[in-house]
Amino acid sequence: MNIQQIKQRFNIIGSYYGLDHAINIAMQVAATDLTVLITGESGTGKEVFPQIIHSLSARKHNGYIAVNCGAIPEGTIDSELFGHEKGSFTGAHEARKGYFEVADGGTIFLDEVAELPLSTQVRLLRVLESGEFMRVGSSKVQKTNIRMVAATNVNVLEAIRNNKFREDLYYRLNTVPITVPALRKRGPDISLLFRKFASDFAETYRMPAIVLTEDAKFKLENYSWPGNIRQLKNLTEQISVIEPERTIDGEKLVKYLPDHNKSNLPAVIEGKIDKETFSSEREILYKILFDMKNDMTDLKKLVHSLMSESQDSSEVRKNNAHLIEKLYEERETTESPESAKNFQFTRPRDEEISDTEEIVEESLSLASKEIELIKKALLKYNGKRKNAAIELGISERTLYRKIKEYNIDS
């Protein structure tokens, strides 16, 4: 069987890659007798994965028993799992087989396994290691051949640190881990599930199915869904029964969403990443990209501000350069056609331009400007007239004549 056939058989809706990955692991491990630990939030549909494993295993023709460990009182959990002898405790009027004895040769699914008391965990560890157990009130060791699949919605490692779960049992159960993704991570799958539930309830209550607008779909897919699929199903049923209109927009939808204003984005608390919020590397990557986008926005604002501050000085440099170019165009009309043809103006480098706060009245004399530029060129090239003439865009002969004419000390 492939993944699509499994989805059809077990009525699994969605194409989120994390969901497909979990199904794929269940299919691969089914042919073995390895113990599987399924983790995920409450209401994500963990109970379907043991059924997939059992149906694809060699034990599929034998018994399958699902046990909710959190729903059985602590005083009777050992009796339920391992059985008891007649008279072993008050009310034990006859001997009774436990789930491990009944499921011999098949598969047993222990849901909410972290809720087991420590004394029961010791018994469970013995079953996993040797396949042996004893009924309550009996000293006779019995053997069982079962495939065990467990599930929990709590942080088992934290429970181990708090001495509420045995570490050796955790590593024995966690031979093959399967993580079921939370509903809020599944994006478009949420709308598909809503449509499926709406169709089912329309058939149940004999009424037209409700339909969501695009705005409502957006709000649905961006809600945090703390109750996961169970919450989505209950919400769909409420709307199907209560709302007279069959088309639901975003405004109507949010009335059924507790804390709908709560963002579904990754959270940062006191500068540190909230580990419970980031349950996947994909969400961490989204957070990094989100921060990079903000940094780029801030950088653009800074560059724009610096460009605005330097705009005035840039305009002054452009005006001065234009004035100098005009000066040489007028002066070079007396030169030979060849020198005019080879005329080239070189702009002063930025490092030679310095800002000053002193306001000096500028001379408009062409001769004084020409003297000033010749002196700067000679100073720049340490008195080498050839290089200075190239910098000024005139011939060396013209430069020599002007030095003599203006009595410039070179």
Q: Tell me, yes or no, whether 227 and 202 share the same domain.
A: yes
- Could you give phi then psi for residue 332, rounded to 5 degrees? -80, 0
> What is the per-residue DSSP string for 259-328?
TTTS--S--EETTEE-TTT--SHHHHHHHHHHHHHHHHHHHHHHHHHHHHHTHHHHHHHHHHHHHHHHHH
> What pLDDT, on the 0 to 100 scale, is given for residue 371?
85
The whole-angstrom separation of Cα 165 and Cα 168 is 9
Domain-embedded: residue 263: no
Q: Tell me, yes or no, whether 11 and 141 share the same domain.
A: yes
Q: Tell me, yes or no, whether 296 and 322 share the same domain.
A: no
Give how many domains the chain has, as a whole number: 4
Q: Tell me, yes or no, whether 123 and 19 share the same domain.
A: yes
What are the residue ranges of helices labelled H in 332-384? 337-341, 366-380
Domain-embedded: residue 88: yes
Q: Tell me, yes or no, whether 48 and 116 share the same domain.
A: yes
Strand 176-179 relative to strand 147-152: parallel, antiparallel, unpaired?
unpaired
Structure tokens at 212: 């969501």
What H or E segment, with its residue span, contains residue 96? strand 96-97
Domain-embedded: residue 261: no
Structure tokens at 55: 């149906």
Domain-embedded: residue 386: yes
> What's the pTM value of the predicted model, to 2 decimals?
0.62
The whole-angstrom separation of Cα 145 and Cα 170 is 20
Q: Tell me, yes or no, whether 119 and 9 share the same domain.
A: yes
Strand 83-84 relative to strand 247-248: parallel, antiparallel, unpaired?
unpaired
Structure tokens at 158: 């934290």
> What pLDDT, on the 0 to 100 scale, is given for residue 352?
46
Q: Tell me, yes or no, whether 131 and 204 share the same domain.
A: no
Q: Tell me, yes or no, whether 319 and 302 share the same domain.
A: no
Domain-embedded: residue 262: no
- Model pLDDT for residues 276-295, shown as the tens digit of each residue: 444 445 555 655 665 676 66
> What is the per-residue DSSP string for 279-296?
-SHHHHHHHHHHHHHHHH
> What pLDDT, on the 0 to 100 scale, is given for residue 7?
94
Strand 176-179 relative to strand 132-134: parallel, antiparallel, unpaired?
unpaired
Last residue of a domain, one of 256, 282, 297: 256
- Could you give phi then psi for residue 376, rounded to 5 degrees? -65, -40
> What pLDDT, on the 0 to 100 scale, is given for residue 344?
47
Question: Mean pLDDT for each consecutive 10-residue tract of the chain (410 residues)?
Answer: 91 94 96 95 94 95 94 90 86 87 94 94 94 90 94 94 94 95 94 95 93 93 94 94 91 86 50 44 59 67 64 55 56 48 46 45 68 85 84 83 80
Q: Tell me, yes or no, whether 228 and 300 share the same domain.
A: no
Range of the domain at 290: 268-309
Q: Tell me, yes or no, whether 159 and 302 share the same domain.
A: no
- Which of 182, 189, 185, 188 is CA-nearest to residue 283? 185
Strand 107-111 relative to strand 64-68: parallel, antiparallel, unpaired?
parallel
Domain-embedded: residue 387: yes
Structure tokens at 201: 């309830």
Look up tokens 């865009």; give the residue.
393
> What pLDDT, on the 0 to 100 scale, is given for residue 93?
83
Look up tokens 């008050």; give the residue.
90
